[in-house]
Amino acid sequence: MTAIASTIYRWSAGQVEALEAPLRIRSCVLDAGPAEPSAVDLIDNALAAVAQIAPWVTAFFTPRLYQLAPSGITAEAPCEPGSESLWGISWASQNTVVVSYYAENTIMGTTHHEIFHALEPQLPSAVRDRVRGAVGAARCYRGAYADAPIERAARLFEHFAEYLDEGGTILWPAPLDPARSVHEALYWIYRGDFARWRADQAAARAAEAAKRARRARRWAALRQLIGA
Ligand SMILES: [Zn+2]
């Protein structure tokens, strides 16, 4: 059963805002469209995943998502059953993702997939290399776009998260080392360790900048004192 939904949910810094469709972001249109009522209920779960894995990301949940060609003509069909759907999109440099919530069986997978795209460029290189090394060479899976390592890495995380969400478990020698194996790398991201590591790095950079500023002020005061 589907109903027409027109509310876009925007998550940013822990706050959820309801916006009216349509909304244009870059080349994409977030629009009203059919959505299973049960899919709307799942947005809370998807938001919890964003909060845990990549809380700095701004995430939009929209009933329908499609992309405009540069000419302004719709290049990709909207998210409707049986069509070529644009389930989600990510702009890593903007820390922004968009997820279509029209169907309940896609929302969690798309959320995990798109937030992986958003966070991958920011991973420590040893962790990123571990994941990219696991996907290896293209296997002519579904075509050039789907075979690209960036897509395969995002699907790997998407399916790994689904495995854990379904109750799957993984064992490794403690403590967890995200540079040691691909499943440790993915679990490190999934359970929010990367988000904490990233926040710690930012705090350390801010503390270092504050220290440099204090030192500069002291030197300026000293130079003034000695008339240099
Ligand atoms: Zn993708």
Q: Do 150 and 208 sit in the same domain of this protein? A: no
For residue 157, the CA-to-ligand 1 centroid distance in Å is: 11
Give the model's pLDDT for residue 139. Answer: 67
Indicate whether 149 and 83 sit together in one domain. Answer: no
Please check whether residue 115 lies inside any domain of the structure. no
Q: 223 C-alpha vs ligand 1 centroid, how far in Å?
A: 56
The answer to whether residues 32 and 70 belong to one domain is: yes
Q: Is residue 111 part of a domain?
A: no
What is d(CA 83, CA 226) in angstroms, rounded to the nearest whole number? 76
Interval between CA 113 and ligand 1 midpoint (Å): 6
pLDDT at position 81 is 38
Task: Determine the Cα–Cα distance for residues 215 and 223; give it in Å rounded to an integer.
Answer: 12
CA distance to 17, 119, 150, 167, 187, per residue, from 190 (Å): 25, 11, 17, 14, 5
Same domain for 161 and 87: no
**Final residue before a domain boundary, out of 106, 135, 169:** 106
Digit-by-digit pLDDT tens for the chain (228 residues) are 568 999 999 999 999 999 999 999 987 889 998 888 888 889 999 999 999 999 999 999 999 898 876 555 444 444 343 334 588 999 999 999 999 998 888 899 999 999 999 999 999 999 999 999 999 766 667 777 788 899 999 999 999 999 999 999 988 888 999 999 999 999 999 999 999 999 999 999 999 999 999 999 999 999 998 887
Distant-in-sequence, close-in-space partners of 112: CB < 8 Å, separation ≥ 6: 49, 53, 157, 158, 161, 162
* Whether residue 101 sits in one domain with residue 23: yes
186-214: b (≥16 Cβ within 10 Å) or e: bbbbbebebbebbeeeeeeeeeeeeeeee
**Letter string b/e over residues 16-36, b meaning 16 or more CB atoms within 10 A of that residue's CB:** eeeeebeeebeebbbbbbbbb
As a residue count, the chain comes to 228
In a domain, residue 112? The reply is no
Residue where a domain terminates, one of 106, 136, 153: 106
pTM, two decimal places: 0.87
In the reported structure, the alpha carbon of residue 168 is separated from the centroid of ligand 1 by a whole-number distance in angstroms of 23
- Do 55 and 14 meet the contact criterion of CB atoms below 8 Å apart? yes
> How far apart are the CA of 20 and the centre of ligand 1, in A?
26
114, part of any domain = no
**Domain range holding 175?**
123-191
Residue 6: inside a domain: yes
Domain count, the chain: 3
Does 116 map to a domain? no
| Domain-embedded: residue 164 | yes
